[in-house]
Amino acid sequence: MIPGVRLVVLGKQGAGKGTQCVRLSHHYVVPHVSTGDMLRGEVKSKTPFGVRAQSMMDQGELLPDDLVMEMVGGRLAERDARGRGFVLDGCPRTTAQAKGLEEIVHPFGLDLVINLEIDTSLVMKRLASRRVCVDCGANYSTAAPPMVNWTCDVCGGEVVQREDDTEEAIERRLDLYEAETAPLIAWYSERDLLVPVNGTGSPDAVTRRVVGAIDTRRQIPRSLS
Ligand code: AMP
């Protein structure tokens, strides 16, 4: 039986986090916990929280740490995540969130933090051509569309360009990534949790690298790595 995992995946917007996290959640049989997907769900259902969150999300701004961490704490307290672990995608995005997560996962902690590395020039290209399913969040691109007329291959939902994949919002999100999220690389490195993985190449090649990195790392006692 494959052991579960308690994993965070970091990486710039467009680094391929969403695609890789879905694959990792299947591989390790743990839930894929994406704060972006959860928030888009709130927006779609027009909950009071979703209504307030929508304009900030469309502009590429970050939502308040306490609201996001409450949502994440609730999700990680569910039976599946407590039992086998999780692949956390899109969180933490700030040091305050990383500290909040430390409290949420105490006393077990995280197993690993993967940093998917990719050049900003590639990211801009990927984001401009990205298309997503409004229902299940599956990722496509203009170069690799769904099989039939922008209808999701997985769930039959409509496949569209995200509201925050405009040039302006992409720039804002990348700026926020550099200012707020990139410092987490050093933060997790100091805690001996960070594993950098090259995020360029085909999705299959990247998955092989990530799974290889996780499995190798799990065989090495922390004190020797
Ligand atoms: P994503 O799909 O991860 O790119 O997230 C889409 C948008 O949701 C972000 O641009 C933010 O507006 C919001 N968001 C997602 N995760 C977080 C988070 N951890 N902290 C704050 N805002 C978030």
* 82 catalytically annotated: no
* 130 catalytically annotated: yes
**192 φ/ψ angles, rounded to the nearest 5 degrees:** 60, 35
pTM, two decimals, is: 0.92
Query: Structure tokens of 166?
Result: 């405009």
| 205 or 167, greater pLDDT | 205
pLDDT at residue 203 greater than cutoff 60: yes
pLDDT at residue 224 greater than cutoff 60: no
pLDDT at residue 47 greater than cutoff 60: yes
Q: Find out whether 88 and 7 touch, Cβ atoms under 8 Å.
A: yes
pLDDT at residue 131 greater than cutoff 70: yes
* Sign of the C-alpha dihedral computed for residues 117, 137, 66 and 105 taken in this order: negative
Q: What is the pLDDT of residue 225?
A: 46
Q: What is the pLDDT of residues 55-77, one digit of tens each?
A: 999 999 999 999 999 999 999 99
Cβ(116) – ligand 1 distance below 6 Å: no
Cβ(12) – ligand 1 distance below 6 Å: no
Integer Cα distance of 16 and 13 in angstroms: 8
Q: What is the pLDDT of residues 77-94, one digit of tens each?
A: 999 999 999 999 999 999
Integer Cα distance of 52 and 68 in angstroms: 13
DSSP β-bridge partners for residue 194 = 113
Q: What is the pLDDT of residues 18-37, one digit of tens each?
A: 999 999 999 999 999 999 99
Q: What is the pLDDT of residue 221?
A: 60
* 209 catalytically annotated: no
Nearest CA to ligand 1 atom 14: 36
Give the angle subtended at the CA of 53 by the CAs of 7 and 101, to the nearest 5°: 25
Cβ(181) – ligand 1 distance below 6 Å: no
pLDDT band at 125 (very low <50, low <70, confident <90, very high): confident
Integer Cα distance of 17 and 116 in angstroms: 7
Give the angle subtended at the CA of 116 by the CAs of 110 and 117, to the nearest 5°: 140
Q: What is the pLDDT of residues 150-167, one digit of tens each?
A: 999 999 999 999 989 988
pLDDT at residue 223 greater than cutoff 60: no
